């Protein structure tokens, strides 16, 4: 089966093999197809780590990955091949995101979340990040799609048939009815969520703190906004819509003209006490590089808020700089994304 990713394989692979042959390409794609839809999220998190040049958590993931290529190609190099594995990991992710697979949303969120602080660099023309971003936007549109008119037509047609004397329901009718009802329920859920978001926005107040967002102020309100949006929405809206919601909520926090400026994660986290952070973490226990900001909140607690807690974090997560500044909307969007990722992983 041909695909956009398969079409681009040679261009993505040539940095590690400028003399790529059709036979070698066939071997590599055979191995990739063997690995597709591996039903183990820990495996995919390790594949993402390999793409970013990070150590895997489970050596079994690396062995399974290499074995697939070795089985397809007996002369596949099994050592001294880190750059090759990095490229193949990126290509595998792109292939996977083209499949209809229940773990793809988690995979996409993990790809988008991991490098928010920008400490990981990779010299690659493989569009892993852009493909993940496109995939998530498309999935968001699908999950929030409402086709009420189509479903109303289906139900009307079914009703008309059922009123014909002697007509008996068949399996196909049951399928149509089930699909229509499920679609209507999904539409109702979407409308309910969006109505709740609007009431929340126009209320200009935190439900958690029961006070105006302006009274809380920036940067403390940033994670509160992300958390309360997460409590309302089951899955992220498209980037444009969620950005508009976040920007409106941020504007509700501004206490005076010019007070909206860039903040670092440290600026934001240091505004919280330990008990308050518990509500920000929303019951999750973030401990990985895939949730850099929420994990920083967690580390702030576990290190006892010592003066060098940011250095402890940096040493653990490849030099992640928590003093790097971002616009409030970017921080809120990242925290919301991390919450969605943790929700999907759980």
The answer to whether 337 touches 109, Cβ cutoff 8 Å, is yes
Written as six digits, the tokens of 307 are: 């003066």
Q: pLDDT (tens digit, 9 = 90+) per residue, 129-175? A: 999 999 998 887 776 666 667 767 777 777 787 778 877 777 777 77
Angle at 343 between CA 339 and CA 345, to 5 degrees: 115
For residues 43, 48, 51 and 52, what is the CA-based torsion angle, rounded to 10 degrees? -130
Taking the mean position of all CA atoms in its chain, how far away is CA 99? 16
- Residue 273 confidence (pLDDT): 82
How far apart, in whole angstroms, are the C-alpha atoms of residue 105 and residue 305?
34
Q: pLDDT (tens digit, 9 = 90+) per residue, 184-193? A: 777 777 788 8
Examine the pLDDT at 1 and tell me if it is beyond 50: no
- Residue 285 confidence (pLDDT): 85
- Residue 142 confidence (pLDDT): 73
The answer to whether 113 touches 337, Cβ cutoff 8 Å, is yes
Q: Give the three-state DSSP class for 205.
A: strand
- Residue, of 283 and 59, whose pLDDT is higher: 59
- Residue, of 24 and 140, whose pLDDT is higher: 24
- Give the residues across from 211 on adjacent strands: 206
Query: Over the chain, what is the mean pLDDT?
Result: 88
Specify the DSSP class assigned to residue 33. Answer: H
Long-range CB pairs of 129-133 (<8 Å, 24+ gap) are 131/93, 131/94, 131/97, 132/93, 132/97, 132/107, 132/108, 133/108, 133/239
> Confidence class of residue 14 from pLDDT cuts 50, 70 and 90?
very high
Among the listed ranges 108-122, 258-272, 328-342, which one has the minimum average pLDDT value? 258-272
The answer to whether 168 touches 124, Cβ cutoff 8 Å, is no
- Residue, of 61 and 80, whose pLDDT is higher: 61
From 55, 128, 120, 116, select the one nearest 88 (Cα to Cα): 128
Q: pLDDT (tens digit, 9 = 90+) per residue, 291-301? A: 999 999 988 88
DSSP string covering 111-127: HHHHTTT----------
Q: Give the three-state DSSP class for 326.
A: strand
How far apart, in whole angstroms, are the C-alpha atoms of residue 45 and residue 345?
10
The dihedrals phi and psi of 170, each to the nearest 5 degrees, come to -120, 170
């Amino acid at each position: 089966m041909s695909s956009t990713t398969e079409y681009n394989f040679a261009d993505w692979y040539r940095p590690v093999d400028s003399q790529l042959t059709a036979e070698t390409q066939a071997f590599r794609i055979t191995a990739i197809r063997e690995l597709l839809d591996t039903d183990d999220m820990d495996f995919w998190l390790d594949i993402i780590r390999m793409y970013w040049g990070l150590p895997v958590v489970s050596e079994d993931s690396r062995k399974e990955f290499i074995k697939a290529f070795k089985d397809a190609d007996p002369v596949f190099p099994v050592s001294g091949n880190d750059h090759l594995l990095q490229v193949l990991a990126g290509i595998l992710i792109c292939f996977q995101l083209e499949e209809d697979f229940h773990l793809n949303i988690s995979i996409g969120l993990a790809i988008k979340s991991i490098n928010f602080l920008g400490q990981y660099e990779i010299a690659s023309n493989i569009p892993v990040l852009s493909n993940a971003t496109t995939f998530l936007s498309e999935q968001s549109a699908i999950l929030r799609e409402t086709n009420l008119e189509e479903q109303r037509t289906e139900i009307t047609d079914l009703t008309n048939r059922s009123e014909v004397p002697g007509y008996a329901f068949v399996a196909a009718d049951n399928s149509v009815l089930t699909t229509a009802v499920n679609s209507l329920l999904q539409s109702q859920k979407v409308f309910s969520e969006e109505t709740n978001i609007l009431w929340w926005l126009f209320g200009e107040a935190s439900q958690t703190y029961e006070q105006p967002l302006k009274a809380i102020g920036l940067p403390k309100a940033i994670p509160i906004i992300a958390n309360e949006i997460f409590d309302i929405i089951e899955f992220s809206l498209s980037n444009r819509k969620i950005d508009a919601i976040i920007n409106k909520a941020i504007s509700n926090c501004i206490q005076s003209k010019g007070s909206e400026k860039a903040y670092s994660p440290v600026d934001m986290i240091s505004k919280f006490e330990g008990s308050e952070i518990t509500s920000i973490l929303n019951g999750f226990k973030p401990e990985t590089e895939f949730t850099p900001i929420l994990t920083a909140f967690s580390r702030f607690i576990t290190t006892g808020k010592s003066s060098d807690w940011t250095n402890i974090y940096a040493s653990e997560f490849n030099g992640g700089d928590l003093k790097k500044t971002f616009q409030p909307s970017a921080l809120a969007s990242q925290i919301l994304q991390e919450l969605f990722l943790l929700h999907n992983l759980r």
